[in-house]
């Protein structure tokens, strides 16, 4: 078997002679090349496989589940926020109630300082108490909710205790103050002198022995006549023999009378305080000159005013 190789120039060529095995080798090469070409052509002729788009699309069920989960988480966050607001509102309400109670304690304490006649500024309930101290080098931590509730509960217990103590002290002081105000003591005038004692005397008009149910204080016409104790006015006007009269009831069966007044400064039913001006000295009624006839009465019986005039006020 001869194989002829032709060069670029047709004038030159070579001849190769093949015998036996050479021919078989060449044939095998051509068969293998033919097989490869056929296989390559078959593969190129087959359609290219494309991935199914559905493999990359999320199912509606999964989307719905995600949405439900997101809605549930949003609801949980809303519930937590609402619960926190409710707890904050509850704490705010408790603090508001405690603040109102503190204001009440301040008012009660201020009244006690007045009743007890403490020095001005010794206890000032209108300002915050002065506090201070060195600063810790370590930064403090905020209170937890549990610690804050415990602290509020402790302060509330202290408020209850202080309220009870102050109210008890206040009632004792007020009771003493009322007793002091109702305690009959002192003269019913600021200036003047005792011109006639209590008991039997010579009547200034008849000269005969007569009972004098009070004491007389002579003084300047128009001068002040003052209540010797607090009480309620039960008479304020003209009365036979007394001229213009003021009568004050002090409770417990006690009352006082102030007679021969030039002017009356109070009315029936009026509450008067100890030392308050209730009338002006005059000479109305059965009188020989400007003076005040002063009586002390208990259970409708006159008493000697002398021991009430000279005893110390409470």
**56 in any annotated domain:** no
Claim to verify: residue 175 and residue 218 sit in the same structural domain: no
Tell me the residue range of the domain where 173 lies. Answer: 85-125+147-182
Claim to verify: residue 173 and residue 202 sit in the same structural domain: no
Q: What is the average per-residue pLDDT within 74-92? A: 79
What pLDDT does 139 receive? 56
Claim to verify: residue 300 and residue 228 sit in the same structural domain: yes
Claim to verify: residue 232 and residue 212 sit in the same structural domain: yes
What pLDDT does 235 receive? 93
Q: Which of the listed ranges 53-62, 175-184, 274-283 does the model predict with the highest average pLDDT?
A: 274-283
When pLDDT is cut at 50, 70 and 90, the band that residue 136 belongs to is low
Claim to verify: residue 102 and residue 166 sit in the same structural domain: yes
Whether residue 37 has pLDDT greater than 60: yes
Claim to verify: residue 240 and residue 178 sit in the same structural domain: no
Q: For residues 243 and 245, give the distance between their C-alpha atoms in angstroms, rounded to a whole number.
A: 6
When pLDDT is cut at 50, 70 and 90, the band that residue 21 belongs to is low
Claim to verify: residue 211 and residue 247 sit in the same structural domain: yes
Claim to verify: residue 176 and residue 259 sit in the same structural domain: no
What pLDDT does 49 receive? 55
When pLDDT is cut at 50, 70 and 90, the band that residue 53 belongs to is low
- For the chain, how many structural domains are there in total? 3
To the nearest whole number, what is the mean pLDDT of the chain? 77
When pLDDT is cut at 50, 70 and 90, the band that residue 276 belongs to is very high
What pLDDT does 40 receive? 65
**140 in any annotated domain:** no
Claim to verify: residue 154 and residue 227 sit in the same structural domain: no
Claim to verify: residue 170 and residue 204 sit in the same structural domain: no
Q: What is the average per-residue pLDDT within 115-141? A: 58
Q: What is the average per-residue pLDDT within 258-287? A: 93
Cβ(27)–Cβ(18) below 8 Å: no
Q: For residues 292 and 295, give the distance between their C-alpha atoms in angstroms, rounded to a whole number.
A: 10
**187 in any annotated domain:** no
The residue that leads in pLDDT, 261 or 24, is: 261
CATH number at residue 202: 2.70.70.10
């Amino acid at each position: 078997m001869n194989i002829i190789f032709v060069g670029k120039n047709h004038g030159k060529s070579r001849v190769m002679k093949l015998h036996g095995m050479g021919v078989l080798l060449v044939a095998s090469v051509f068969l293998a090349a033919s097989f490869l070409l056929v296989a390559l052509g078959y593969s190129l002729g087959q359609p290219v496989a494309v991935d199914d788009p559905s493999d990359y699309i999320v199912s509606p069920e999964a989307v719905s589940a995600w949405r439900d989960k997101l809605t549930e988480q949003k609801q949980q966050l809303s519930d937590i926020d609402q619960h926190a607001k409710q707890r904050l509102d509850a704490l705010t309400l408790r603090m508001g109630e405690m603040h109102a109670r503190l204001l009440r304690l301040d008012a009660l304490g201020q009244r006690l300082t007045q009743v007890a006649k403490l020095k001005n500024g010794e206890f000032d309930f209108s300002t915050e108490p002065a506090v201070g101290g060195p600063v810790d080098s370590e930064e403090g931590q905020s209170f937890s909710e549990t610690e804050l509730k415990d602290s509020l509960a402790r302060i509330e217990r202290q408020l209850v205790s202080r309220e009870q103590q102050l109210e008890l002290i206040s009632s004792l002081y007020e009771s003493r103050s009322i007793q002091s105000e109702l305690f009959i003591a002192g003269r019913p005038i600021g200036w003047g002198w005792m011109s006639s004692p209590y008991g039997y005397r010579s009547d200034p008009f008849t000269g005969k022995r007569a009972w004098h149910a009070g004491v007389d204080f002579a003084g300047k016409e128009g001068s002040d006549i003052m209540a010797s104790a607090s009480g309620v006015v039960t008479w304020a006007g003209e009365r036979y023999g007394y001229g213009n009269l003021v009568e004050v009831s002090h409770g417990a069966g006690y009352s006082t009378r102030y007679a021969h007044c030039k002017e009356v400064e109070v009315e029936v039913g009026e509450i008067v305080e100890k030392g308050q001006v209730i009338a002006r000295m005059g000479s109305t009624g059965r009188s020989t000159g400007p003076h005040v006839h002063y009586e002390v009465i208990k259970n409708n019986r006159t008493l000697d005013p002398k021991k009430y005039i000279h005893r110390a006020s409470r």
